[in-house]
Amino acid sequence: MLFKTAWRNLARNKRRTLVLLLTVSLGVAALFLFDGFNAGIMNQYKDNTIHAKTGHGQLNTKGYRDAIYEKPWEHWMEQPEQLTQKIRSLPGVTHVFPRVDFFAVITNGNLSVAGRGTGVSGHDEADFFWTLNVVEGETLRDQEQGIIIGVGLARALNVKPGDRITLLGNTIHGTMNGLDVRVTGIFHSGLKEADDSYFRIQMVDALRLLDTDKVETFAIGLRSDRDWPAFAQAVRTQLPELEATPFEVLDEVYYQHAVDWLGQQFAVIQLIILVIVTLGITNTISFTVVERTPEIGNLRANGESAWEVLQLLLWEGFLIGLIGAALGIIGAWLFNTLALPKGILMPPAPGITRQFNVKIELQWAMVFLASALGLGSTLFATWVAAWRKVHIPIGEALRYR
């Protein structure tokens, strides 16, 4: 009975109902869109880490990352081709990238600079690591004896794509070795220490320079980062001599710290939005309840108790909150789909040299949370506004103007 009466009351005063619905729906839509923007930013950082640096994680021999060895190559992995096939058979694996890190002196004939390099399978990595910030030339793909170098290193050597340079380094046996390579591209990571010293060459060239057939690391590409727990468990059971490390641990400074910092910042902003939305809803509902003081007095004069009148107003608040939340969710989804199909163009973030589009990623979990916040705020505001009005003397309520 109260539900039907509440529904009729909303239909009876369309202007008041429309104002309340608009207030609730705009608040819910703002919360929903902001959470989607947060998710888009976080996923952009995740993609930049996974597809520019580490993959979804990497494999080393057990304990390798926690120890310092005089001869680290003695703890590298042998028979990489056979090991690659075993890794490919593990759950969720789509890509396996063997890598080896080493130090070398880079010279252009006049100037020599110390640097740190990584041997990679250029053909396999080029399409997966698509967010690597190559600012000149092209990424390392199928070029024989190619090299891509950091922008600071290129500036120090005064080289550009197409120039030839020489790498000088020690083999694992302690003898000097050299390798002539051609600069194919120059990249910018956003980290000065990396840009001033880091380079990548083809794996076959790195193994020839080091005079070894072992690999130090396998970077792993999965169908999704959600597959990592199952993959890590499979490594522990099927390849116990190896250790799996996820990307958020490998790149803790850039990714995890940035995500943690942004998460706290967004939480504060979200709290501010929630407070503003709640205050807006409370103010609007309070105004409408005050307008209805004579109506409340009439209900009380007809024999309705204060609790019954309060229940009626709460039912109205519930319907307003429920319908307003639904309209807000639908409106936010339509706005995102029709007005922002490519996302929001953002300036370069730390570690990224290009503008990028952040897509507002609306999530089902936030549908329920934003709706609950909108509905809860409406019920709270109705309770606060109605409690005092239903308890004032009937005569005073009837005389209210």
Q: What is the DSSP string of 65-107?
A: GG---SSGGGGSBS-HHHHHHHHHTSTTEEEEEEEEEEEEEEE
Nearest-angstrom CA–CA distance, 298 and 296: 5
Lowest mean pLDDT among 5-9, 38-42, 361-365, 376-380: 5-9
Mean pLDDT over residues 117-125, rounded?
93
Arithmetic mean of pLDDT over the chain: 87
Query: 3-state DSSP call for residue 297?
Result: helix
Q: What is the pLDDT of residue 17?
A: 83
Nearest-angstrom CA–CA distance, 329 and 209: 59
| pTM score over 0.85 | no
Return the bridge partners of 137, or none: 185
% of the chain beyond a pLDDT of 90? 44
145: tokens are 């004896």
Pick the more confident residue, 161 or 263. Answer: 161
Domain ranges of the chain: 2-49+256-399, 63-240
Return the bridge partners of 97, or none: 219
The answer to whether the CB of 318 falls within 8 A of the CB of 376 is: no
Nearest-angstrom CA–CA distance, 353 and 136: 12
Q: What is the pLDDT of residue 376?
A: 87
Lowest mean pLDDT among 99-108, 226-235, 282-291, 356-365: 282-291
Task: Provide the residue type at 377 as one letter.
Answer: S
385: tokens are 């506004």
The answer to whether the CB of 375 falls within 8 A of the CB of 321 is: yes
352 confidence band (pLDDT: 50, 70, 90)? low
Nearest-angstrom CA–CA distance, 359 and 33: 11
Q: What is the pLDDT of residue 350?
A: 62
